[in-house]
Amino acid sequence: MEFNISVIYGDGIGPEIIDSGIRVLNKIEEVYGHKFNIDRALLGGEAIDELGSPIPNETIDKCIKSDAVLLGAVGGPKWDHLKGSERPEAGLLGLRKALGVYANIRPAILFEELKEASPLKSSLIKDNIDICIVRELTGGIYFGEKGKEENEAYDVERYNREEIRRIAKTAFDMAMNRNKKVTSIDKANVLESSKLWRQVVEEVAKDYKEVELEHMYIDNGAMQLVRQPANFDVILTNNIFGDILSDEASAIVGSIGVLPSASLGEGVGLYEPIHGSAPDIAGENKANPIGTILSICLMMKNSLGLYKEGTKIEEAVKEVLKKGYRTGDIMSDNNKLVGTREMTDLIIEEIK
């Protein structure tokens, strides 16, 4: 089959991990006889430098017309002096909004092979850890009213019923295909927006009688995640809490370098690792490409209908980890240290 994929390299380690991703796509083409028409689009810092805007119109046009979008990461110190709306990160938020991808799915699964990379002691991770974070992505404090004066600044957290209803529905639908438990994380003891969140989540839950619903305040939730990670199935939460909890969950399962994400809405899906542009290791062939490669796996399954290809990618990653190869971020004693390119070579070799 033939697909049009928009690809955004972005900044920092973006080009390195996207190079890995494109090589995986090429291998899938070769082995399964598909055709991926890869069309590069600019976003973030690279777009500011080349076209003077973090989100050029042509990028939105390209992405909207494609079958799926693959993105590396944006941002870096070079653009940190810019004001909010001109920063690389504003480009990413703008793209999410333009694509209407309100549901950000971030699976945090502890692979048997990566147990040693987890900072948690073995008694806490002896049970299966398979958490699916469902983060609201196009609302909340990221997109509310903002303002900055010399001595005062503000960002408004605002949600309406419909925004909460649709993301809650996504979480319950996911739970139905998993262990039938949703933990909704909010701050309903303080925030009005969280009170409405809880109310609407309760209403949606009525249509999913088989799913157990539990509510947690964010402070407790962040704590329970390290104390009893195996107790979570689906975590449903707002934009900012989901951002923070997903980095926390990534460390529990080994490294921020291994977590993929799928951002879904009514139209085109956006696929990106959860990490950033990692300026501290950019250009050094040190970045873990697994988060990007597993994002391609999510793309295969969620946007392209290529289930066996997606599963093959996942198996290839596990096989390489089983053989003991590791990038620096997931390195333990007795493992073999490899760089971004070598890790990619090894994974590609397993796709056959």
Binding residues for Mg(2+): 219, 243, 247
Give the dihedral sign, CA 341/2/95/246.
Answer: negative
For the bound state, the minimum distance from the C-beta of residue 127 to ligand IPM, rounded and expressed in Å, comes to: 27
**Known binding-site residue numbers:** 76-89, 96, 106, 135, 219, 243, 247, 276-288
Choose the contact partner of 287 out of ligand NAD, Mn ion, ligand IPM, none; CB within 5 to 8 A by kind.
Answer: ligand NAD
Is the Cβ of residue 186 or residue 243 nearer to ligand IPM in the bound state?
243
Q: What is the 3-state secondary structure (H, E, C) of 338-352?
A: CCHHHHHHHHHHHCC
Q: Interface with Mn ion by CB under 5 A: which range of 28-36, 128-136, 221-229, 239-247?
A: 239-247
Q: Name the residue nearer to Mn ion (CB basis): 243 or 329.
A: 243
Active site residue 243: yes
- The C-alpha atoms of residue 62 and residue 41 are separated, in whole angstroms, by 7
Q: Which amino acid is at 22?
A: I
Q: Which of 62, 97, 187, 301 is catalytic?
A: 187
Which residue, 89 or 314, has its beta carbon nearer to ligand IPM?
A: 89
* H/E run at residue 91: helix 88-99
- Residue 259 CB partners (closer than 8 Å, separation 6+): 106, 107, 108, 246, 249, 250, 253, 273, 274, 275, 291, 294
Which one of ligand NAD, Mn ion, ligand IPM, none is in contact with 256 (Cβ closer than 5 to 8 A by kind)?
ligand NAD
Which residue ranges make up the site for ligand IPM (CB under 6 A)? 75, 89, 92-93, 243, 274, 276
The CA-based diameter of the chain, rounded to the nearest angstrom, is 60
- The contacts of residue 44 (CB under 8 Å, 6+ apart) are 8, 10, 11, 14, 54, 74, 75, 79, 88, 89, 91, 92
Q: Which of 329, 338, 343, 348 binds ligand NAD (CB under 6 A)?
A: 329
> Which residues are near ligand NAD by CB under 6 A?
13, 73-76, 89, 92, 256-257, 272, 275-281, 287-288, 291, 329
